[in-house]
Chain A
Amino acid sequence: MKVIRLRRGFSTNCSGTNEFFPGGWSLPPPSLNPDQQQDAGPRIVFRWVLPQVTSRWSGPDAGAVSAPASQPDAGATTAPTSTTTTNGLVIAAVVFGVAVLVGVERLVRALRRRRKGESHDEPAEG
């Protein structure tokens, strides 16, 4: 009547094959006690931002990456800035810039047309 062997550890790896956390080899995790975590300092306050747009993806899920962000009163926590966010800002800036240029060009053309028209409408003297 005997114990053959003992294994301990949660299987998380995506291969599904064995992983082991040999209890004899390592120390217990330091901060898994919920009571200790109550006093662990600033915490993340939950606010969820949906969606963040990226132009690099196509298909039904395009632009649906949901990155969580912290609220202003969340202490030292900072919102993650993914590459998709950066791309979105760059694209928005480019679109805005092009829109401004087009708008300015149209305004100049309109002013020119108006000036031309006004000169045609001038009554002939004489």
Chain B
Amino acid sequence: MTSPPRAEHPAELPLVLRREPFGGLLFEPSTATCVEVDGEAYSTLRRCVDDGWQSVTDAERALMDRLRASIPSLGREVVSFHLPSERASRIPRYAHVRVLDAPTVVDLQITRRCRSGCPHCYMSSSPEGDDMPYDRVREVLHAAGDLGVCQLAIGGGEPLLHPDFVRILYDARSFGVLPNLTTTGDGMTPESLRAMAECCGAVALSLEGLRDDFDRRRRTGFALFEWTHRALRDAGVATVLQVTLSVENLPALPAIVDYCVSCDGLYGVLFLAYKSMGRGAGYQTPLSRVPAAELFPLLRDAFLRISERCRVGYDCCLAPGVVGMDAAFGIDDPEMVEGCTAMRTSVGITTDLDVVPCTFLSDHPLGTLREQSLWDVWHGERAAAFRERLDGQVEQRAECRACPSRDSCLGGCPRWDLVRCRARL
């Protein structure tokens, strides 16, 4: 029997150390671990890097031990850090939202081309969709690497159909940015599979239904989904299943959970909320129609079952729906749930080089890389106005004002009414 392609990871990506308004952050790419530290700790880390980890005091050694528990590679003799150029931050302090000096995640739409024809597609992707030219992609990757962006979430369209897909993955790593992506598997070749295995932190496959239900949603079909999943797993790619929930497929959630639990070698399952936009506008009904008292037990049961096999995640748009889980599970970290990250830690870039808060707000550009740098857009007036609206959201909603989780939940998506929280039973 012929051996499948094996992942031979190229040189490891460097750790990212960045100064932030509250201190700094340290990102370790092989596990996508991001540690935020205060100003004093950041200065210590920075000095240790500059001095080659010499003459550390007991207090500094204690900090290193603490960090090493989460980032074992910090203990290596040689750790390669990427230090972004020092720039003057113009990010003001907000009452409720915490904003980084630059994004840690860039959602990069490299193509609008897709052959799946999903009726729920929020991007209205089609077989005739255009690609972002390779040179433009490379410029974006260069800009992201220059700012110390940690991760890319490559999307589309179907990213595998971009003619330079493989080059883009290797380029991302060459600029020190960890690429991840979402795909249907359509157009996958041995070369692109090998590139994903060598370059990507994780690859996600969408799953809103099973078998016939899946086939009704995607021309590429459930069989290709399963085949792609096996191919990724066998190539050693960390694979995530993304489950977008709506009123219509919520009854199928237990069966979807059964399926996820039955999958071997899964890295994680991520839940998202359906948005009625693009070609998918009106196709289904957002979860906001479901009372939290009905939704919460389903999400909790899904979490309890899946977390026995792999990681479970929730897109930040679902934050109001999972607020309170920490208490229900006895978790003592009130910040475990994180609300909208748009223009706080993440940003979207479309094939037209428009910079958007997230790809679900593609009609709300805050600038364009055709005329501005990513840094200038991030620190621009329109970005500030977006953050002010997000910051004021929890003050405007009565149920949020009294909520102890308001500064982590942030009141949900600023654009769409996607999901109810426990305060809005």
> Does B137 interact with chain A (Cβ within 8 Å)?
no
- Contact call A6/B34, Cβ cutoff below 8 A: yes
> Does B291 interact with chain A (Cβ within 8 Å)?
no
- Which residue from B37, B203, B340 sits with its C-beta under 8 Å from A12? B203
- Contact call A32/B234, Cβ cutoff below 8 A: no
Interface centre among B108, B153, B230 (most CB of A within 10 A): B153
The residues in B between 208 and 222 inclusive whose CB is less than 8 angstroms from any CB of A are 215, 219-221
Interface centre among A15, A64, A77 (most CB of B within 10 A): A15
CB distance from B358 to the nearest CB of A (A): 5
> Does A4 interact with chain B (Cβ within 8 Å)?
yes
> Does A48 interact with chain B (Cβ within 8 Å)?
yes
Complex Cα distance A9/B335, Å? 15
- Contact call A16/B38, Cβ cutoff below 8 A: no
- Contact call B359/A14, Cβ cutoff below 8 A: yes
- Contact call B358/A6, Cβ cutoff below 8 A: no
The residues in A between 33 and 80 inclusive whose CB is less than 8 angstroms from any CB of B are 34, 37, 40, 43-46, 48, 54, 56-57, 59-62, 64-68, 73-75, 77-80
- The interface residues of chain A, by DSSP majority, are classed as loop
Residues of B within 8 A of A4 (CB): 22-23, 36-38
Known: A15-B358, A15-B360, A82-B224. A5 touches B329 (CB 8 A): no
The residues in A between 65 and 100 inclusive whose CB is less than 8 angstroms from any CB of B are 65-68, 73-75, 77-84
Closest chain A residue to B181, Cβ basis: A12
The residues in B between 376 and 411 inclusive whose CB is less than 8 angstroms from any CB of A are none
Residues of B within 8 A of A14 (CB): 107, 123, 153, 155-156, 182, 204, 242, 359
The residues in B between 353 and 387 inclusive whose CB is less than 8 angstroms from any CB of A are 358-360
Residues of B within 8 A of A54 (CB): 219
Known: A19-B270, A29-B311. A62 touches B33 (CB 8 A): no
- Contact call B313/A20, Cβ cutoff below 8 A: yes
Known: A16-B106, A80-B221. A61 touches B115 (CB 8 A): yes
- Which residue from B32, B36, B230, B310 sits with its C-beta under 8 Å from A77? B230
- Contact call B265/A37, Cβ cutoff below 8 A: yes
- Contact call B153/A8, Cβ cutoff below 8 A: no
- Which residue from A18, A23, A24, A59 sits with its C-beta under 8 Å from B315? A18
- Which residue from A16, A61, A81 sits with its C-beta under 8 Å from B347? A16
- Contact call B115/A64, Cβ cutoff below 8 A: yes
Residues of A within 8 A of B246 (CB): none
Complex Cα distance A97/B306, Å? 50
Complex Cα distance A84/B115, Å? 11
- Which residue from B34, B123, B128, B359 sits with its C-beta under 8 Å from A8? B34
- Contact call B221/A82, Cβ cutoff below 8 A: yes
- Contact call B226/A80, Cβ cutoff below 8 A: yes
Residues of A within 8 A of B66 (CB): 3
- Contact call B221/A12, Cβ cutoff below 8 A: no
Closest chain B residue to A21, Cβ basis: B311
What 9 pairs between A and B have smallest CB-CB spacing?
A16-B107, A80-B223, A31-B265, A10-B202, A21-B311, A14-B155, A82-B221, A18-B341, A12-B204
Residues of A in contact with B (beta carbons under 8 Å apart) = 1-32, 34, 37, 40, 43-46, 48, 54, 56-57, 59-62, 64-68, 73-75, 77-84
Q: Given contacts A10-B32, A15-B317, A17-B315, could you give 4 more A-B pairs where the C-beta distance is less than 8 Å?
A: A15-B315, A29-B265, A32-B267, A67-B220
